Structures are given as structure tokens and as C-alpha cells.
Amino acid sequence: MASNLALLRLLQLVSPSLPIGMYSYSQGLERAVHDGWIRNADQVGDWLHGLLHNSLSKLDAPLLARLYDAWQTGDMEAVAQWSQFLIACRETAELRIEDKQTGQALARLLVNLAMPEALAWQKRVDATLATMFGLAATRWQIDKADAVTGYLWSWLENQVLGSIKLVPLGQVAGQQLLQRLADELPCLVEQALTLTDEDIGGSCFGLALVSSRHEMQYSRLFRS
């Protein structure tokens, strides 16, 4: 029963209905479509594959694992350190703002879900989504590997939903993309959990470029 409850809590945490505003961020995808870099489902798949392998699995995923461990042991110094590290790795202003705003939004939600430890993070400038995700995962007794998998899945689903609106793609094409890219997640999670501190870090020049261009885009649907 306990494992079933943890699964249900994970499903709640990664649900698109979670009220933290993830639907309003495209992470540069909007500009990539606008500039003609991405025109069809195959190109969306290549774009997301590259981000998963060169950024998410080498930065967000291993840092989430460390934040999970820090929350579990009550090491608040490590929580702050890894949260600030993640913010510092965001290469544009809008990506830093996105992480802060979604992290603060999740903190507000967790306070209302009887998690008072999130209270101080509602206004902290170094709040990140992964920081609060790690807190929720530990307090809801979600397995660490499952939490990292869910985090990557949530990111992937949000990106595919954005591509359906922006490219645009049909719903079936979106589901085909999710199925294909989800096959890669277990291996990426396993790799992320074995990275040393010195191995953490991933940079995607294309993401940094389109995100910086998106910041100045005159007409747009998404905040990043």
C-alpha cells in the first residue's frame, strides 16, 4: 500500500494539471519554430533528444538526485548549494526566471499540501523546480530513481505539448514522439544517478541561442 501511495503522489507531482504554470513555458522551442529550425515531428524529436542527452540528463537529473539526498538527510546547506548551482547553469535570463518562478509556485503549493518546509522557498531567489520537486519526493516517500524519471517525463510531456501547439503537430504525432523518447528515459536516469560531482554539467548552444532570441521576440505565446 505504501508503494502504491508513493506512485500516486508521483503521478500528482508530474501531472500537467499541477498548478505551477509549466504550460506557459516552451524553453526556447517557440523561437526555434519561429526561426524555421523545427518544422515537423522528426525535427522536434531530434531537438528533444539532444536536450535530453546533452542537458537534462547531465545537469537537471543528477542535481535532482543530490537535492533529494540533501532533503532526506536534512542537509540544508547542500540543498542551498545545489539549488544555486542549478540556477547558475541557466544560460539566459528567461530560463533563470522560469526556474525561479516554477520553483516558488511549487513551494506555495506544497505549503498548502501540509509541507511547511517549503514556506521559506516561496520568495527565495535561488528556488528552482528541482529543489521543490526533491522536497516533495522525499516527504512523499517516492523512490529517488522514480522521482528523477518522473521529473524527466514531466519535462518531456510539456515540451511535446508545446510542439503540438507551435509546429503544429497532430495529437497522434505527439503521442508517437512521447512513446519514442520515453524509451530513452530509463537509461538516461541510470546514467544520471552514477555521475560524480565533477561530471555534472551540460550545455546546448542552440537552446541558449533561441532562448536569448525569444527574450526579445515581439509576439509570442510562451514566457520562455
Q: How many domains does the chain have?
A: 1
pLDDT digits over 14-70, tens only? 999 999 999 899 999 999 999 999 999 999 999 999 999 999 999 999 999 999 999
Rg (CA), the chain: 17
Q: Quote the mean pLDDT of the chain.
A: 95
Residue range(s) defining the domain that contains residue 72 = 26-214
Q: What is the mean pLDDT of residues 124-141?
A: 97
pLDDT digits over 103-131, tens only? 999 999 999 999 999 999 999 999 999 99
How many Å apart are CA 135 and CA 110, to the nearest integer?
Answer: 9
In a domain, 154, yes or no: yes
Reported pTM:
0.96
Q: What is the mean pLDDT of residues 128-143?
A: 98
pLDDT number for residue 13: 97
In a domain, 20, yes or no: no
pLDDT number for residue 224: 66
125-143: b (≥16 Cβ within 10 Å) or e? ebbbbbbbbbbbbbbbebe
- Give 62-121 as a DSSP string: HHHHHHHHHHHHT-HHHHHHHHHHHHHH--SHHHHHHHHHHHHHHHHHHHHTT-GGGGGG
pLDDT number for residue 145: 98
**217 — pLDDT class (breaks 50, 70, 90):** confident
How many Å apart are CA 220 and CA 224, to the nearest integer?
Answer: 9
In a domain, 148, yes or no: yes
pLDDT number for residue 221: 80
pLDDT digits over 152-182, tens only? 999 999 999 999 999 999 999 999 999 999 9
In a domain, 141, yes or no: yes
In a domain, 4, yes or no: no
pLDDT number for residue 223: 72
Residues 6+ apart with CB under 8 A from 65: 144, 148, 192, 193
In a domain, 8, yes or no: no
CATH number at residue 116: 1.10.4190.10
In a domain, 139, yes or no: yes
In a domain, 39, yes or no: yes
